[in-house]
């Protein structure tokens, strides 16, 4: 082969490689743009911005079928909030009124769950059917027992003594009561009998049991067993006499820096364990009510309530996931969750920052806002104001890092632990923590 022909062949090869690279780059860019538009339409549907939703659909009609990690469509989001104009626009562009999310819920099931009467009537007028949590299930076959295999931790209901039961908390799916198991006080999460056949409730219950079985750590509430073969379904954990951090802060107000740091260390230890790769557990609802005090002396804290947690196998330490937006409690919610954007374990770091702020300031972040408005304010870039003299410069710097708008800039809980240990060395210890400090 002559040098000319060799050169020409080389040029052709380079051009082919270049073209392939350009094509790959274009595909990557195209995929990035598609993901961005998906997030946008979900966000605008959530914000009740019918004009923005219409503009996006005029540019790309296929976005009417956009779905997030949990297979929820813009119609699911708008129906849940009762946004009539947005739903009319989506239906006009051909939205599937009976689209099902991963729990088999339709938009109508969401509207019924949120008791949006006008939305219920609108969706029914367009042929909307109710599956999932609030309606007849899509699959007529009987629901299998949550965990049919007899396990070491399966508890016989007769072993639980409710004769002196005391209510700890109540929710839409059930209640948490203090009871006794073989003479030991325990916390029992009891699913309402009327919901014991509900697919979504069973799935969430089973998911929480499956998670708790795997967890073993001094700063994580200890799982003792569950009732899965009889009704009502029950989940049994250790009973912590000190109550929750929410109630403690309500009574005590702002904590001293030393106490706040010791509390924060316990929370961070539990969260470091949960965030350990490759099997990362994202809590997604870290808030004072879900942080429990072992006793009235408040000398040890544990993280609890894993009803909204996600267990994710991490292939890459920088993996982010498209999960359900608006999961958790608005006041402590990371902006990327509120905006229905991709997120990772750093959402828990944001919530931790809000809790640490509350411990030092003695009041919840944006206490003068309703929870939803507080989350919206945060998503617009605002952060709570530091007023307490007890918030040292080091603690303030850590909080600001942890609630950074860019989740990639937030430290890991392992880094947070190291920072807190250093800060602790500079602070005088509180008396009642003396036994636990070296």
Strand partners, 236: 188, 225
Residue where the block lists tokens 């699911």: 76
Instruction: Give the number of residues written for the chain.
Output: 438
Residue where the block lists tokens 């990639």: 408
Cβ atoms within 10 A of the Cβ of 70, count?
Answer: 15
Q: Which residues of 71-91 are buried (b: 16+ CB within 10 A; e: fewer)?
A: ebbbbbbbbbbbbbebbebbb
Asked if residue 261 lies in contact with residue 420, where contact means CB atoms within 8 angstroms, the answer is yes
Cβ atoms within 10 A of the Cβ of 271, count?
Answer: 28
C-alpha to C-alpha distance for 74 and 114, rounded to whole angstroms: 16
Chain centroid to CA 271 = 13
Out of 101, 110, 266, 285, which one is annotated catalytic? Answer: 285
Rg (CA), the chain: 25
252: left (phi over 0), alpha (psi -120 to 50) or beta: alpha
Q: Which two tokens stand for residue 134?
A: 């609030």
Report which of 238, 234, 146 is spatially closest to residue 190, judged by C-alpha positions.
234
Q: Would residue 285 show up in a list of annotated catalytic residues for this protein? A: yes
Asked if residue 424 lies in contact with residue 262, where contact means CB atoms within 8 angstroms, the answer is yes
189 is in an annotated binding site: yes
Q: Which two tokens stand for residue 181?
A: 């198991």
111 Cβ contact partners less than 8 Å away, ≥ 6 residues apart: 79, 80, 82, 119, 120, 123
248 Cβ contact partners less than 8 Å away, ≥ 6 residues apart: 242, 288, 293, 298
Asked if residue 236 lies in contact with residue 160, where contact means CB atoms within 8 angstroms, the answer is yes
Catalytic residues: 285
Binding-site residue numbers for ATP are 189
């Amino acid at each position: 082969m002559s040098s000319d022909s060799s050169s020409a062949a080389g040029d052709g090869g380079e051009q082919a490689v270049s073209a392939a690279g350009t094509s790959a780059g274009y595909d990557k860019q195209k995929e990035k743009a598609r993901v961005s538009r998906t997030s946008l339409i979900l966000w605008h549907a959530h914000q009740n911005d019918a004009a923005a939703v219409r503009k996006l659909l005029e540019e790309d009609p296929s976005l009417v079928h956009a779905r997030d990690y949990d297979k929820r469509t813009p119609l699911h989001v708008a129906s849940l909030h009762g946004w009539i104009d947005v739903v009319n626009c989506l239906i006009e562009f051909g939205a599937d009124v009976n689209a099902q999310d991963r729990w088999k819920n339709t938009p109508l099931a969401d509207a019924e769950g949120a008791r949006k009467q006008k939305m219920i009537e609108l969706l029914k007028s367009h042929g909307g059917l109710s599956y999932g949590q609030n309606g007849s299930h899509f699959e007529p076959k009987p629901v299998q027992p949550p965990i049919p295999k007899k396990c070491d931790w399966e508890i016989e209901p007769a072993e639980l003594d409710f004769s002196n039961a005391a209510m700890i908390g109540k929710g839409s799916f059930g209640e948490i009561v203090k009871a006794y198991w073989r003479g030991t006080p325990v916390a029992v999460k009891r699913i309402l009998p009327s919901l014991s056949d509900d697919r979504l409730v069973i799935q969430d219950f089973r998911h929480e049991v499956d998670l708790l079985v795997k967890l073993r750590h001094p700063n994580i509430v200890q799982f003792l067993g569950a009732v899965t073969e009889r009704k009502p379904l029950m989940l049994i954990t250790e009973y912590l006499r000190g109550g929750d951090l929410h109630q403690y802060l309500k009574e005590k107000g702002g904590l001293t820096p030393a106490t706040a740091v010791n509390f924060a260390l316990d929370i961070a230890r539990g969260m470091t364990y949960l965030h350990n790769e490759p099997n990362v557990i994202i809590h997604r609802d870290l808030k004072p009510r879900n942080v429990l005090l072992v006793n009235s002396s408040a000398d040890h804290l544990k993280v609890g309530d894993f009803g909204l947690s996600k267990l994710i196998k991490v292939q890459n330490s920088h993996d982010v996931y498209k999960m359900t937006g608006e999961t958790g409690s608005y006041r402590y919610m990371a902006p990327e969750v509120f905006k229905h954007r991709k997120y990772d374990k750093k959402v828990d770091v944001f919530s931790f920052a809000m809790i640490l702020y509350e411990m030092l300031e003695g009041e919840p972040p944006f206490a003068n806002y309703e929870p939803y408005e507080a989350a919206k304010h945060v998503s617009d870039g605002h952060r709570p104001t530091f007023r307490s003299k007890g918030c040292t410069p080091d603690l303030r710097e850590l909080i600001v890092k942890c609630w950074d708008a860019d989740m990639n800039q937030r430290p890991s809980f392992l880094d947070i632990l190291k920072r807190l240990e250093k800060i602790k060395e500079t602070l005088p210890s509180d008396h009642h923590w003396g036994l636990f400090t070296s």
